[in-house]
Structure 1
Amino acid sequence: MALKAVNVSDVPNLDHVPENNASLYSSRFSSEGMELNTEAAAFRAPKFLVIGHRGHGMNTMQSSDSRMEAIKENTILSFNSAAKFPIDFIEFDVQVTKDDCPVIFHDDFIFSQENGTVYEKRVTDLRLEEFLCFGPQKEAGKQGKCLLRKSKDGKILNWNVQTDDSFCTLAEAFQKVDSSLGFNIELKFDDNVVYHQDHLTHVLQVILQVVSEYAKDRPIIFSSFHPDAAQLVRKLQNTYPVFFLTNGGTQVYYDVRRNSLEEAIKVCLEGGLQGIVSEIKGVFRNPGAVPKIKEAKLSLLTYGKLNNVPEAVCMQHLMGIEGVIVDFVREISHAVDDMIIKPLNESLKEGNADETEAKSKVQFSQQELSFLLKLIPELIQH
């Protein structure tokens, strides 16, 4: 398969090992060729993972692509819609309400309107009953408060989608989402708030209590952009792997630990974390970080708008990246299945595991791959 030229400007505009290893692997994973690492601090994916971003895909209010407004993100409907495709996990954001209930919602604030006046409320300042009052209601005939959303350029827009659904709690997700689908639980904290350790500990313990009660055998990965929260949740439990989320140097933060893949490696090694989830641009701009991550015995997943381009995803597979978080679940899951998973399974069945790469539809010589790795950083500088 030839690698098609992809201009970044043509990509849709998006907003952007545990002690019980078996718990990571659901029925969606083929046991053939599965390699498990028994060390508690290691995580090895049994195959190239496809993870649905906020379920079936995030919502972008100003996108010209209707797929970005198809289904309300971070809802039971979005999660189960994603489960219809050959993916392994769904990723979603968890925050804890004022009365200690873990809920699933991405933004730090909820925007609404009353008597012509727009107002905002911080999710963590709301009680569960208040949080659930926004948007569609489960109770027939009940009208919820209107739901608005703030865009990156500061505009307040109606949160309109083609298929809507009500807000949900973490417990509901465990109870109502296809049990074979893994959960990548992002522990969500506001970048502009300084959290004390006792507060972080309390919030994480509340979330872990729900996970303990409802998870059963569901595969789970924890992740967080907050380095202290990521390290703390690793200390509080050793059942599930914890990944550190990073922009990989594509944005600059006051906390230097968030500003590069090299710093991310340090965070993981210091806290005994199992892997990194990076914005893919950060990896493509610094491909030399991938072998460093591997040398540190860490796993690497990615997110970002380039993950909605099949060729960019296949390139990551060749680089040794272990999975991608995507918005276009249907398209990317089918592309991965066709270009990566099926050739691998065919090779394993034939007993030629060592020839898997050669049999793959994605074929590059070592020289070509080296050239591409040098070229990619130049292509995505802007």
Structure 2
Amino acid sequence: MRRVLTVMILAALFIPISASVLSYAEEYVPRELKGYMTNIAHRGAFAYAPENTMSAFYKAIEMGADYIEFDVQMSKDGIPVIIHDSTLNRTTNGNGYISDYTLKQLKSLDAGSWYGKEYVGETIPTLDEFLVEYGGKVNILIELKYPELYPGIEEKVAIALREFNLVQYDSHEVIIQSFNHESLKLSKELLPEIPHAVLVSKDWRKITIHQLEEIATFADYFNPSLNMVTSELVELVHHTNMSMYAYTVRNPSEAGRLYSLGVDGIISDFPDYAKLVVK
């Protein structure tokens, strides 16, 4: 019943949302601006399924996302797992820190019922499970989440990607990002073939060209909070030969504004927004 009501509500909202997106794009996007805005599904299709689950990833592909973004941490026994928070409380029926649980214990938890009854029984995926299902079939943006809590996580991710033959020069099928720039440097040393992206928050509003040039020595993408994006920042990032994926888009007007400013892509809970704006 809840699923039916959700579908009815979304159906009722679809027309005004689409109109808002198109109206905003027509008003703000310069006519001469032609191109494509990469569409990254944040934690999968988070707006439509429980985040960082196989259901969310499947939904993102179904909706035509260009990339699936997800967060990697590690279990107590050193297995890379896909989950956002450092604790289990919000998105599972468990409590406490992920690092205190073995993989077997983590897999016994329910990671879907908090979102809806139809997702009861969803489990926390491992990185390997994701790569078995989707490796080489969809572009992925991997965030090293809280790597300071998990010594060696960079190497574990590198090993997994190599085992699945996903490490190739001049390919953007896999991108690794992190707020921890020292961790990102280490990952880049381990995987020089793969593009890397620095994540930054609004605290970096006053970033200089010199700082960007330094970042460009180990990163290929500069991914900022959407609130700090200006046309000047986009220009500076592009000047240093980096691309920009802004996060986290949760309404159509944000998507339209970012498109008008020239970002290369958006990381969004709604994989349908980017395509609507570009159209």
Alignment partners' CA distance in 2, 1:325 and 1:288: 20
**What letter is aligned with 1:310?**
P
Match of 2:44 among 48, 55, 76: 55
In the aligned structure 2, how far is the partner of 1:169 from the partner of 1:205?
16
2:49–2:115 CA contact under 8 A, matched in 1: no
- Find the partner of 1:335 among 263, 272, 276: 276
1:186-222, Cα deviation, whole Å (9 max, x unpaired): 00007xxx66xxx64x221011111111254881110
Counterparts of residues 289-308 of structure 1 (less than 5 Å) = 289-304=233-248, 307-308=249-250
Per the TM alignment, residue 182 of structure 1 is displaced from its structure 2 partner at its CA by 0.7
Q: Distance in 2 between matches of 1:319 and 1:4?
A: 11
- Alpha-carbon distance in structure 1 between the residues aligned to 2:206 and 2:165: 33
The equivalent residue for 1:3 is 24
Aligned to 1:72: 50
* Distance in 1 (alpha carbons) for counterparts of 2:182 and 2:135: 31
Distance change >3 Å, CA 261–CA 92, structure 1 → 2: farther
Segments of 5+ residues of structure 1 without an aligned counterpart are 6-45, 58-67, 113-117, 137-146, 148-157, 250-257, 339-382
Matched, 1:125 2:75: no
SS of 2:161 mapped into structure 1? helix
- Contact kept, 8 Å, 1:98 with 1:127, in 2: the verdict is yes
Does the aligned pair in 2 maintain the 1:221–1:241 contact within 8 Å? yes
Q: 1:266 to 1:131 in 2, by over 3 A?
A: farther
Q: Give, in whole Å, the separation in 2 of the partners of 1:260 and 1:119.
A: 40
**Partner deviation per Cα, 1:161-193 (whole Å, 9 max, x = no partner):** 254222110111111237432110000007xxx
The match for 1:175 among 122, 132, 139 is: 132
Q: 3-state DSSP class of the match of 1:86?
A: coil
User: SS state of the match for residue 229, structure 2?
Assistant: helix
In structure 2, the CA distance between the partners of 1:178 and 1:235, relative to structure 1 (3 Å rule), is: closer
> Of the candidates 221, 224, 228, which is equivalent to residue 275 of structure 1?
221
Identify the structure with bigger relative contact order (alpha carbons < 8 Å, sequence gap 6+).
2
Name the CA distance, whole Å, in 1 between partners of 2:220 and 2:125.
28
Which one has a bigger Cα radius of gyration? 1
Q: Superposition RMSD on alpha carbons, in Å?
A: 3.0
Tell me the SS of whatever aligns to 1:91: strand
Structure 1 residue 247: Cα displacement: 1.0
State which of 174, 187, 202 in structure 2 corresponds to 1:233.
Answer: 187
2: CA distance between counterparts of 1:212 and 1:325?
25
Could you tell me which residue of structure 2 aligns to residue 210 of structure 1?
Answer: 160
Deviations 1:245-289 (A, max 9, x none): 01132xxxxxxxx675448625513x42111111100114xx422
Contact preservation (8 Å) 2:74, 2:99: yes
Counterpart amino acid of residue 162 in structure 2: S
Please tell me whether the aligned partners of residues 52 and 326 of structure 1 are also in contact (alpha carbons under 8 angstroms). yes
TM-score, with length taken from structure 2 = 0.76
Q: Distance in 2 between matches of 1:273 and 1:124?
A: 28
Q: Residues 223 and 230 of structure 1 are in contact (CA less than 8 Å); yes or no, is this contact kept in structure 2?
A: yes
Q: 2:198–2:221: 8 Å Cα contact kept in structure 1?
A: yes
- Change in 2 beyond 3 A, CA 1:162/1:219: farther
Distance 1:280 1:261, change over 3 A: farther
Unaligned runs of 5+ in 2: 1-21, 27-34
For residues 242 and 4 of structure 1, what CA distance do their matches in structure 2 show?
30
Equivalents in 2 of 1:77, 1:264: separation in Å? 39
Q: Deviations along 1:343-382, whole A, 9 cap, x unmatched? A: xxxxxxxxxxxxxxxxxxxxxxxxxxxxxxxxxxxxxxxx
Letter matched to residue 24 of structure 2: L
Q: 1:109 aligns with which of 74, 77, 87?
A: 87
**Alpha carbons 2:244, 2:264 under 8 Å: kept:** yes
- Give the structure 1 partner of residue 77 of structure 2: 99
Partner AA of 1:232 in structure 2 = L
Q: Distance in 1 between matches of 2:137 and 2:94?
A: 39
- Kept in 1: contact 2:38–2:274 (CA 8 A): no
Contact 2:37 2:274 in 1 (8 A): no
Aligned to 1:160: 115
- Find the aligned partners of 1:291 and 1:160 in 2 and give their Cα distance: 39
Q: Decide whether the 8 Å contact of 1:264 with 1:276 is kept in 2.
A: no
Contact 1:248 1:283 survives alignment (8 Å): no
Closer, same or farther in 2 for the Cα pair 1:228/1:163, shift >3 Å? Answer: farther
Q: 1:206 to 1:171 in 2, by over 3 A?
A: same
